[in-house]
Structure 1
């Protein structure tokens, strides 16, 4: 591997709804790669349509290799700060689970769906050595 890249994803709730961002052909949680010097949750706030976000808790860590780089994605449950600019789509949790279940990218799909359905505990570690294989989780999560 030639490098390390930190990424972040976030679950924002409004009552029983979750904010999803259109990432054609998929729907995703707000977030992405964190650039050097960028605030950890800066990208989340921008994609989610808030001036900023506050981390409530760490809900997963996903480690995976891609393109010669080792990624570490931190998944947070967050609260938006300031007015919302209308970005994304607020959808019921069941619909969010359905949309995220169809996402092609396992390191976002699997932790997000497991967290939203209550199959994974807060701060679960997900590790892929090969994205074509199932992950190892700590503590154990029963995959679908």
Structure 2
């Protein structure tokens, strides 16, 4: 591995809806790579369309190699603060699970879908040593 990259994704809820961001051809949770010196949730705040977001709890940590870089993605449940600017789409939970479940990239798809369907506990660690193989999870995901 030649480097390390931190990334973040977030679940934002409004009633029974979840905020998704169009990332053609997929839908994703707001977030992205965190640049050195950048506030941890800055990308989430920007993509979610709020003036700021407040972290409520850590949902998962996903570790995976890609392109010679070791990634660590933190998934949070957050609350948006301020007026929402209309970014993204508020999607009913079952539809959000379906859209996220179609995403090609397992380190984003699997933790998000497992959490939203109640199959994974809060603060689950997901570790891929090879993206073509299933991950190890701690605690175990049902």
Query: Which ranges of structure 2 fall in alignment gaps of 5 or more residues?
Result: none
Aligned to 2:24: 24
Q: Distance in 2 between matches of 1:94 and 1:121?
A: 18
1:103 aligns with 2:116: no
Q: Distance in 1 between matches of 2:19 and 2:59?
A: 16
The 4+ residue runs of structure 1 with deviation greater than 3 A are none
Deviations 1:65-110 (A, max 9, x none): 0000000000000000110000000000000000000000000000
Aligned to 1:4: 4
Secondary structure at the aligned position of 2:140 is classed as coil
Question: Shift of the alpha carbon at 1:128?
Answer: 0.2
Normalised to the residue count of structure 1, the TM-score between the two structures is 0.98
Q: Distance in 1 between matches of 2:81 and 2:37?
A: 21
Query: Which ranges of structure 1 fall in alignment gaps of 5 or more residues?
Result: none
Aligned to 1:51: 51
Question: Shift of the alpha carbon at 1:60?
Answer: 0.3
Alignment: residue pair count? 142
Q: Distance in 1 between matches of 2:108 and 2:11?
A: 11
Aligned positions of 1:1-144 closer than 5 A: 1-142=1-142
Question: Shift of the alpha carbon at 1:141?
Answer: 0.6
Deviations 1:10-56 (A, max 9, x none): 00000000000000000000000000110000000000001110000
Normalised to the residue count of structure 2, the TM-score between the two structures is 0.99
Question: Shift of the alpha carbon at 1:120?
Answer: 0.2
